[in-house]
Chain A
Amino acid sequence: MKRRSIWSWLWIVIGMLYFILPLYSTFDFSLRAKKGVLSFLAYQRVFEDPNFWSTIKFSLVIAIFTIIVSILLVVPTAYWIRLRLPKLRVLVEFISMLPFVVPAIVLVFGLIRVFSGAPFFLTNTYFGTYVLLVAGYVVLALPFVFRSVDTGLAAIDVQSLTEAAQSLGANWPTIIFKVIFPNLRVAIMSSAFLTLATVIGEYTIASFLVGIKSFGPYMSLIGQNKTYESSSLAIISFMITWAFMGMIQLFNRGKADTSALAGAR
């Protein structure tokens, strides 16, 4: 028993070192911008760079639109499949996994090729390009969003809740926005977080569509030209992601109990 416990701890320590060591090394390196002393000089330079703020703001706005479009698209689709077309679930699940198989480079070239000519001409305007960027990210986020929402739907009795609401006189918008969405809150928040994390750091699609307007290409550019700042940017990017994760956890914890499953157990 004791021997097993030692082995368990050994694997946990190895696992933690695997994740923490590179992060620690990066952090340590980011503090060495000033020769011979540890300082936050690299961080100061990053924060003083107006491009940092503009790119992160741009990526955040794009991420928010991506989340809204993804959820409005996926929640009703996954709900309808569970309710009325359960046989299609396997097919839709397969389609939602395609972004894992199709490389982002192929996706962005496809988007540019199809939407730069007649009848769409989306790449001719900034707005059109942003629409294309959000559309690309919706595809990229599809596996996380669909999986998360589908798992959330599996945890509630979709059919009975829908029929109960119908028998009480509710129409479809009322059912979706007052019954289904609130009961998927945790699933939606998880998928929103994963989408946010994906979009913030995404490089390939952003660099081909909007270049260094976006945070991913900006990080790459800094990485090519400024040694210490690139490490500090990596740490900042981690901190942003963790901050969002913490906020979501906090939000969920406050209301988690209210969505606990009721019904026959």
Chain B
Amino acid sequence: MAYLSLSNVSKVFGTTTAVEDFNLEVEKGEFVSFLGPSGCGKTTTLRMIGGFEMPTTGVITLDTEDITYQSPNQRNVGMVFQSYALFPNMTIGQNISFGLQARKTPEKEIKKKVDEMLGLVHLEKHIHKYPYQLSGGQQQRIALARALAINPRVLLLDEPLSALDAKIRVELRLEIRRIQQTMGITTIYVTHDQEEALMLSDRVVVMSQGRMEQIGTPAEIYNYPSTEFVAQFVGQLNILPVTQVNKKDGTCVLAGQQVKFDQSFERSISETPRLAIRPEEIQIGIGEGRNTLKGRVETVMFLGAVVRLRVDLGGVMLSADLFNERNITLPRAGDEVVISFPEHSCWLI
């Protein structure tokens, strides 16, 4: 049996179903992210694991114990909030020791644990400071140390980096992963940032409208999206209208030009199939054994590491991402170009 298990869990608020028939099994020490847009039910699911919301139906078990209706203070589950939620009236040391004092841990052990946790987040010098005297990134590291100090069975993080600026966010997510791996703690992470989810997680749960769309490793989610929603939400995707679909041969016609598509794994295909292809799979120029199409460059956008072209295939617009190099030769708007992409990189949705 899995360490953390959610079986047929749902949550209804009045007439709104926030989470519907959610099933998940998490192994001990695993890092799982809930990824999805606002209102998809990811935070509600996390809050049900934390005990802050009670499921309308379903069962949640942790380490073989049924915790579905247990109060949050009995679950031994650590939580890190987007707003940090450090106690403003307490020093950093007092914040970290709060949970241990609630458990009536001996004073000597508390002191040792506080020092250990401050060392873990590299903030030893700030033990006597108050939260408002620290930066946002430091406050969130203290919040993490406070949650970890109680040796929680599961660590829950609710968009912990959303309130931080981009540079600190990148630094801190590396730190979260390092600490999680050092401690081997089972972690559930809620985010709407796909980069964060893909970088941090062992597995990603993509959610939409209260339902689980797909669960898999970051590579599976990105390379083999099982639904149109996942394909569109994770990464960039061209979705192009096609005609004369021949599923037997694996061919279709895109803007009057024949294209071969991937049929190697099963995906749900809508009644009016369209061709999906990620922009980074497309190259300028002919490639042997690749689908080759003619078009005209509409725009060239320099994005730093990537240069994005908008190519008109004759009424159908397509984005192509080229990796930037110092000596790259870019086409200009209005140029006629040939683009190519491998058969396995495009599929019907």
Binding site for B on A (CB under 8 A): 156-157, 160-161, 163-171, 174, 178-179, 182-183, 185, 257-265
Q: How far apart are B109's CB and chain A's nearest CB, in angstroms? A: 15
Minimum CB distance partner of B149 in chain A: A168
Question: How distant is the Cα of A165 from the Cα of B130 in the complex, in angstroms?
Answer: 17
Question: How distant is the Cα of A261 from the Cα of B88 in the complex, in angstroms?
Answer: 6
B89→A264 contact, CB < 8 A: no
Binds A, one of B98-106, B233-241, B249-257, B338-346: B98-106
A166→B130 contact, CB < 8 A: no
Q: How far apart are B110's CB and chain A's nearest CB, in angstroms? A: 13
B86→A263 contact, CB < 8 A: yes
Contacts of B156 in A (CB 8 A): 167
B72 at the interface (CB under 8 A from A): yes
Q: How far apart are B90's CB and chain A's nearest CB, in angstroms? A: 8
Contacts of B75 in A (CB 8 A): 167
B218 at the interface (CB under 8 A from A): no
Contacts of B245 in A (CB 8 A): none
Residues of chain B from 142 to 161 with CB closer than 8 A to chain A in the complex: 143, 146-147, 150, 156
Contacts of B163 in A (CB 8 A): 264-265
B79 at the interface (CB under 8 A from A): yes
Contacts of B87 in A (CB 8 A): 161, 164-165, 179, 183
B55 at the interface (CB under 8 A from A): no
B77 at the interface (CB under 8 A from A): yes
Across the A-B interface, the 10 shortest Cβ-Cβ residue pairs: A262-B131, A168-B99, A264-B163, A160-B85, A164-B85, A182-B89, A167-B79, A166-B72, A169-B102, A260-B132
A168→B98 contact, CB < 8 A: yes
B82→A168 contact, CB < 8 A: no
Question: How distant is the Cα of A165 from the Cα of B139 in the complex, in angstroms?
Answer: 16
Contacts of A165 in B (CB 8 A): 87, 98, 102
Main secondary structure of the interface of A (DSSP, over half): helix
B79→A263 contact, CB < 8 A: no
Question: How distant is the Cα of A63 from the Cα of B139 in the complex, in angstroms?
Answer: 41
A263→B131 contact, CB < 8 A: yes
Question: How distant is the Cα of A161 from the Cα of B143 in the complex, in angstroms?
Answer: 11
8 contacts between A and B (CB under 8 A): A164-B81, A165-B102, A167-B73, A168-B102, A169-B150, A171-B73, A257-B130, A264-B163
Minimum CB distance partner of B47 in chain A: A163
Question: How distant is the Cα of A245 from the Cα of B76 in the complex, in angstroms?
Answer: 45
B85→A161 contact, CB < 8 A: yes
A258→B86 contact, CB < 8 A: no
With A261-B132, A262-B134, A263-B85 given, name 12 new contacts (CB 8 A): A161-B85, A161-B87, A163-B81, A166-B51, A166-B73, A168-B73, A169-B74, A169-B76, A171-B102, A185-B89, A261-B88, A264-B163
Q: A259 with B89: in contact, given A163-B50, A168-B150, A265-B136 (CB under 8 Å)?
A: yes
A157→B99 contact, CB < 8 A: no
